[in-house]
Chains A and B, each alone.
Chain A
Amino acid sequence: MEAGTAAAPAYVRRESALRRAWDWLREHAVNIFAALVIAYLLIPIAIIILFSFNDPAGKYNFTWVGFTFDHWKTVFSIPELNSALLTSLRLAALATLISTLIGTFMALALVRFEFFGRRTTNFLIVIPMATPEIVMGASLLSFFLILGTPTLGFSTLLIAHVMFCISFVVVVVRSRLIGFDRSLEEAAQDLGANALQTFWRVTFPLIFPGVLAAALLAFALSIDDFVVSNFNSGTTVTFPLYIFGAAQRGIPVEVNAVATILFSVTLIAMGFTVLQQRRAERMAAVRPQQEGADVMGTAPVPPAPGGAGG
């Protein structure tokens, strides 16, 4: 106890260190928690990629056995998987094309025009997004069953996929149109462009990133859809339906490899969209006096004297 006077400052120092640690923890608690939640979100993806290199003992790819590239070498050697993938790609491409086209039209009508029935239309667009997929799938199946036509298969899948993609396309394109600077269009018309020229040379390039984002979303929704497809596929097999069917008898490791490829491709596609969006933002920042510069490609209007006649 004779060291009491010397111990006191050490004690104080230790307390303050503890206190600092505690303060640091309190300050960063939210960040630490967020990092844990992000780990929770990413771990299954890591598992999917990791298990594409697994060398499972039996037919079930659930426990880690050993590292191998074998299943990457044979990734496209299962005929049923290949045809399911091709069906999914074809379906998603068509559904994206149709839903993006008619969804963009709807978004243009909703943002650009005042008309009778707007509220009802908005409601019609929101409701499918608020309906559980199983109800959409079941009601469409009931519809096809009672009508007896068309036969369940690719055509009914296409009808269903376009149906659930439309709303998302409208929402994405609409959000893009709302922030649109209409003086750019007026400038084009002042400079003698007609309505069609204005649309294709000014409006479309500006909303293109939004349309592209909507198309990507539609593609992702379609290629990943299981529930609605499960109800309306008949004997047609898409990629998710193939996985569901294979799950009972053991999913081949190649499925994980395909999933890894799809993941990487989506990543690249998203990177591309982000770049497009940045480009459009730069373009929208161009003021009318710079119009006719190379941002529009070939100059749509006679370049102003002294302008950058690109």
Chain B
Amino acid sequence: MATVRRRLTPYLLLFPGAFWLIVFFVVPMYYMARLSLDSGTLETGFQFTWQWSNYGDALSLYKDPFIRAFEYAGAATVIALLIGYPLAYAIAFRGGRWKNAMLFAVIAPFFTTYLIRTIAWETILSDQSPVTSVLETVGLAPAGHVLATAGAVIAGITYNFLPFMVLPIYASLERIDPRLIEAGKDLYASSRATFVRVTLPLSAPGVIAGTLLTFIPAAGDYVNAFFLGGTNNKMIGNVIQGLYLTNRDYPAAAALSFVLMAVIMLIVFIYIRFAGSESLMGEEAVAR
């Protein structure tokens, strides 16, 4: 009797959470797939007719924002890696007594609302702001405009997802046994060689987790393009949001969401294969 109870306990503990995730996460995916194959309009009502052409129609119509989303997300991920890695390195190895304060600075943006943070960038990059005039002097803002350009959207995305890059890299650098780095130096490796041959490879799991945690939300984002971009900077997220909530063209919107998810998963899969990640499962724990 006791062993039966012991064997049932984990399932009882799991049940409420698993139920919630299956009913409100997994099952809705099926419903979205079904909706993407409906035909009809809002007036006539939607019927399920295996309307595969929804996919081709939506993709050919919204090819540009689709590609743009991946370009912007890719650019933001690369920039976040380039500026996030040195920061994570400084926190892990040079922080000293400032370490906690630096870590705090990395998560501080999360203490303010996402939308307000993005709108703060609208202020910083507005035409009258000192930042814009500096950028104009340097030649980075040709007509004195930064807002409504690809650069503004990419800067916003980079900013908003940078902590997701820094924290996993920091966590993996922090775990490195300092004796390995000392060993490299004892064996007469220059500090650059030690970094390239020892530190960098050992921080690879953090880099992989960080790039994924930045890229995935960035590709689906529409807030940055909404506030910082112009009509020529619409990403696929903006299109999906508009089709669902304004135009109510549900089948096209569902088809685009589905393709977005599929492409992201494909990229993630190829990337993990290519990068040879050992454990992605544990890495996201450090994300927030």
Contacts and interface: CB of A to CB of B under 8 A. Distances in A.
Interface of A: 30-31, 33-34, 37-38, 40-45, 47-48, 51, 61-63, 101-103, 105-106, 108-110, 112-113, 115, 121-122, 124-136, 138-143, 145-147, 159-160, 162-163, 166-168, 170-172, 174-175, 217, 220, 224, 226-227, 230-231, 239-240, 243-244, 247, 251, 255-256, 259, 262-263, 266-267, 270
Interface residues of B, number: 83
Contact of A121 (B18, B25, B240): B18
Interface of B: 7, 9-11, 13-14, 16-18, 20-22, 24-29, 31-32, 34-35, 83-84, 86-87, 89-91, 94, 102, 105-106, 108-117, 119-124, 126, 128-129, 159, 162-163, 212, 216-217, 219-223, 227, 237, 240-241, 244-245, 250, 253-254, 257, 260-261, 264, 268, 280-281, 284-285, 287-288
Contacts of B18: 106, 121, 124
A241 to B, nearest CB: 9
A115 B119 CA distance: 48
A160 B17 CA distance: 13
Contacts of B7: 115
A139 B20 CA distance: 15
B244 A34 contact: no
Given A38-B105, A140-B24, A262-B112, A251 B119 contact: yes
Which secondary structure dominates where chain A touches chain B? Answer: helix
A163 B20 contact: yes
Contacts of A143: 24, 27-28, 31-32
Given A239-B113, A240-B115, A133 B217 contact: yes
Nearest to B122: A62
Contacts of A102: 16-17, 20
Contacts of A170: 17
Given A45-B112, A239-B113, A33 B90 contact: yes
A62 B86 contact: no
Given A105-B16, A128-B21, A231 B244 contact: yes
A135 B255 CA distance: 11
A39 B147 CA distance: 21
Contacts, number: 239
Contact of B87 (A37, A124, A240): A37
Q: Which of A140, A172, A174 has the largest count of B CB atoms less than 10 A from its CB?
A: A140
A240 to B, nearest CB: 5
A279 B91 CA distance: 25
Contacts of B24: 140, 143, 159-160, 162-163
Contacts of A266: 111
B242 to A, nearest CB: 11
Contacts of B105: 38, 41-42
B284 A129 contact: yes
B30 to A, nearest CB: 8
29 contacts: A33-B87, A37-B84, A37-B162, A38-B106, A40-B83, A41-B163, A44-B120, A48-B117, A103-B17, A105-B13, A109-B9, A121-B18, A124-B26, A127-B25, A128-B21, A131-B216, A134-B221, A136-B25, A139-B25, A142-B31, A143-B27, A143-B31, A159-B24, A163-B21, A217-B288, A226-B115, A231-B244, A243-B115, A263-B111
A256 B22 CA distance: 38
A34 B111 contact: no
Contacts of A45: 108-109, 111-112, 117, 120
Q: 10 nearest interchain CB pairs? A: A132-B220, A34-B90, A113-B10, A143-B28, A109-B13, A44-B120, A139-B28, A139-B32, A106-B17, A102-B16
Nearest to A120: B18
A227 B217 CA distance: 11
B20 A166 contact: yes
B13 A240 contact: no
A208 B134 CA distance: 50
A34 B10 contact: no
B234 to A, nearest CB: 14
